[in-house]
Chains A and B, each alone.
Chain A
């Protein structure tokens, strides 16, 4: 049959199915009628004739089916019939159906949720035209000792590339800053991306509302205009479509909102969306900062370039090398030995999260596999129960393929229901995730904005379809094969007593669960280590961490205000003391800033350029409040602050590295400060963790807060009891002193520190959740199999008991198999876990990937769960009553 005529027949059948069926029926009936008439004429009675005609005709229904097939429409017709029949079957067994759908929905849902996260972080390209042409440009500055790709670039670098780079149709820069915005009557410090005026011309993301700020508009004299991010606009302006064109108050000035950027448009980091985008021209008016190639800046820029059409990355890189070499010649003091290179955005986006995302995806894939194994096992068990039905159908002429299709259709129905459920679960997780992920109380930082996209939808459908074949394939081939075997052998009891396929499934389940539990165990252990690690200060004490912004005309007034505020707060009941510092460990600004140190013993570049060292300005009482031990010498005291003493406290690592063979106390170094004065080391403090628990100790120095250092500070308030109880009084004290003050951040120290190990926590919690899910699924699988095995051997057990077998021998008989399968699964799982653990290495803190303890506990847990799962059915086996068992059937 040609494709065309087949198609025609098919459409004919589809459109006029009942008509075709009716005609077939009519044709068959008229045949029988004519035959009966002929037979009657030969002398048979009417009833005999009709019976004989039917006999001669043969299998009425099966010939009809063959005719349908000849019409090329059988497949579809059967599918519809199968689907109807399958739906009835599934409805008849609601327990089975709900169990199977729920199991699968959890499995697919876990994958949907994880994938939507991965999609957001890794796969989704920047929503700009030709995202493949957008590149990130990296420069290295060897004087700062930084590697290429990690540090930002200077304005000089930016200027040189945008002037000289012929490979790019445009080069733009961005730096993350903070800005105060007034929304609905309250001031908020928000993440701001300060961008070059041409930023939106280069990236051209389009505008969700209003219009895009062009370079021409942004740099027009007198213009104060910004763009807002989509999430910020939705959260704080209720997605007001009339906002573009109006003004908002930014750093105390009226600034026009030109437009809203599209959803999903991010800055440099995949996990952080700036709230507001400020062109350099506007930023210059607001803050007076106007970077020039000569100005040099402590704040580095991230550079973006858009390649001209047809220009390969290699060509752009060759050109950048030339520019870098020229700058190195012309500006040796800043750019000697400097390098430049660019990378496609797909190569750099979400580097840190990418590995983790893949691991999560692999783990959730394992969970889905477990779910499939369980449902497959259930389906096999059900196929056993339905053997009678299949034998009947096979006897009535249904082919093996026909039965196979019936079973696959039912699997597809289950899969469809489960996928729908999975999408609901996925959407729920996406809605909950941002709330579960640690939120930084900074007002409006947008966390990962995972949400359903078409790609996520396709992924879920794909996962659903794959799982249909995974869980439906095995039982279907089994079931249909059994049907034929059964048709020949009547009741083939011996065929399945050992349930080989289900046994394999159980082994696989135990193995996969062990891998999951080991992974979860390692991450939980790592989290516990991180929480127990000594950060060099007392992270568990009752303490409030505050960040506030006030506006004072002079440094002197600011210092006076801070002094008054501290005295006021210290007189509050329940407050034990206060201290201020430029930064408190585990703050929002990462590791903090560096200061160049020139010390007498230095040689070479260290002598000419200095050595950058992380630093902090601290008030008196700082070390006592934080609980950082001073190992030798003395802490910084109030007298140091009053006299602007040129003293400093350094950490152990700095002492050991700068003065390995001498006493550091009493040594003095020149610091890169305006006064160029020498600072004397008066104390050595224990090493503190700065940005996270995992970091290795680096040199660190503390100087007394100078007069000009009060503009940027954080305050700690030590309390006798729950620190949140004094948060209100502290706030009132501050606002009484200065009604215009904004409290930017207020948190307990415990919470503050907890956020620092957010990554460890999230990974441990996610994987632990997936591991628990896996364990549950494996337990259900093992329980099901053991129950089935015991059930199918009831008769045998009865005979054995009648012949004098003891309970314990029966116990051995039925336990042996469960035990053997579990052991085999554990052995395979251990091998797998050893491999998987290696992949987790990067995520682990203070625990080796092959940690014996974790492996031992995981194996024990799994063995225990397996034992418990098979215990109930085994117990049932020992209670078999020989009399009943033998009378059964």
Chain B
């Protein structure tokens, strides 16, 4: 069985925002950055990235501009907008709360009930 975890629904947006928060990236770059920060533990179909990017641009959380990449190829770069930065903060806080809650549940011992 594949040791890499399937991505949790709804977390792709969070991962993209996090990846882009470290600096403007083109689509493939976002993918690499996610792979890098998740240490290769997350697997998604690569194409699924783009609808998510388009959605985030539509929501005004990301800004897309055409530019030139390191190897002088034309590429579309994504960066966080102010709204995107704010949303990332909220999402991280929400995620932390969720994780803490789930952690509490999972570590509950029989006698504590």
Contact = CB atoms under 8 A, between A and B. Distances in A.
B47 A57 contact: yes
A351 B66 CA distance: 72
Contact of A5 (B60, B66, B75, B76): B60
A31 B66 CA distance: 14
B58 interface: yes
B27 A69 contact: no
Interface in B2-34: 26-28, 31
Contact of B58 (A1, A56, A60, A63): A1
B47 A34 contact: no
Contacts of A315: none
B25 to A, nearest CB: 12
B48 A63 contact: yes
A27 B46 contact: no
Interface string A356-380: 0000000000000000000000000
B28 A58 contact: no
Contacts of B58: 1, 5-6, 9, 70-72
A58 B51 CA distance: 12
B47 A27 contact: no
B46 A58 contact: yes
Contacts of A70: 51, 54-55, 57-58
B51 A66 contact: yes
Contacts of A71: 54, 58
A658 interface: no
Interface string A735-759: 0000000000000000000000000
Contacts of A56: 45-46
Nearest to A27: B76
Contact of A63 (B47, B59, B74, B75): B47
A30 B26 contact: yes
B50 interface: yes
B47 A59 contact: yes
Interface in A1-53: 1-2, 5-6, 9, 23, 26-28, 30-31, 33-35
B73 interface: yes
Interface string A824-842: 0000000000000000000
Contact of A31 (B27, B57, B59): B27
B27 A57 contact: no
Nearest to B43: A56
Contact of A57 (B45, B54, B75): B45
Nearest to B57: A70
B74 A57 contact: no
Most buried by A among B47, B48, B54, B75: B47
A27 B77 CA distance: 10
Contact of B50 (A1, A6, A63): A63
Contacts of A437: none
A396 to B, nearest CB: 14
Contacts of B50: 27-28, 31, 63, 66-67
Interface in A404-442: none
A67 B46 contact: no
A271 B9 CA distance: 71
B47 to A, nearest CB: 4
A28 B54 CA distance: 12
A39 to B, nearest CB: 12
B45 A27 contact: no
A30 B47 contact: no
Contacts, number: 64
A68 B74 CA distance: 21
Interface string B44-87: 01111011001101111000001000000111100000000000
B46 A31 contact: yes
Contact of B76 (A23, A59, A60, A63): A23
A1 B61 CA distance: 10
B4 to A, nearest CB: 13
B54 A58 contact: no
A33 B46 CA distance: 13
A319 to B, nearest CB: 67
Contacts of B75: 27, 30
Given A5-B60, A9-B58, A63 B51 contact: yes
B51 A67 contact: yes
A30 B74 contact: yes
A477 to B, nearest CB: 27
A59 B51 CA distance: 12
Contacts of B54: 66-67, 70-71
Given A28-B50, A63-B51, A1 B59 contact: yes
Interface in A715-738: none
Interface string A503-543: 00000000000000000000000000000000000000000
A576 to B, nearest CB: 94
Contact of A58 (B26, B47, B66): B47
B73 A30 contact: yes
Given A63-B51, A69-B51, A71-B54, A30 B46 contact: no
Most buried by B among A1, A5, A23, A63: A63
Contacts of B31: 31
A2 B59 CA distance: 8
A157 to B, nearest CB: 74
A653 to B, nearest CB: 86
A58 B48 contact: yes
A67 B27 CA distance: 13
Contacts of B26: 30
A35 B73 CA distance: 14
Contacts of A31: 27-28, 31, 46, 50
A56 B46 CA distance: 6
B42 to A, nearest CB: 14
Given A1-B58, A31-B28, A57 B76 contact: no
A19 to B, nearest CB: 12
Contacts of A1: 58-60
Nearest to A33: B73
A28 to B, nearest CB: 7
Contact of B28 (A34, A59, A60): A34
Interface in A681-710: none
Given A1-B58, A9-B58, A30 B28 contact: yes
Contacts of A33: 73
A33 B50 CA distance: 15
Given A5-B60, A27-B76, A30-B28, A57 B51 contact: no
Given A30-B27, A66-B50, A70-B58, 15 more contacts: A5-B58, A27-B75, A27-B76, A28-B47, A28-B50, A33-B73, A35-B46, A57-B45, A57-B47, A58-B48, A59-B47, A66-B51, A67-B50, A70-B51, A71-B54
The 8 closest A-B pairs by CB, nearest first: A58-B45, A70-B54, A66-B51, A63-B47, A58-B47, A34-B28, A70-B55, A57-B47
Interface of A: 1-2, 5-6, 9, 23, 26-28, 30-31, 33-35, 56-60, 63, 66-67, 69-72
26 contacts: A1-B58, A2-B60, A5-B58, A6-B58, A9-B58, A23-B66, A27-B27, A27-B76, A28-B50, A30-B27, A30-B74, A33-B73, A34-B28, A35-B28, A56-B46, A57-B47, A58-B46, A58-B48, A59-B47, A60-B47, A63-B50, A66-B50, A67-B51, A69-B51, A70-B55, A71-B54
Interface of B: 26-28, 31, 45-48, 50-51, 54-55, 57-60, 66, 73-76
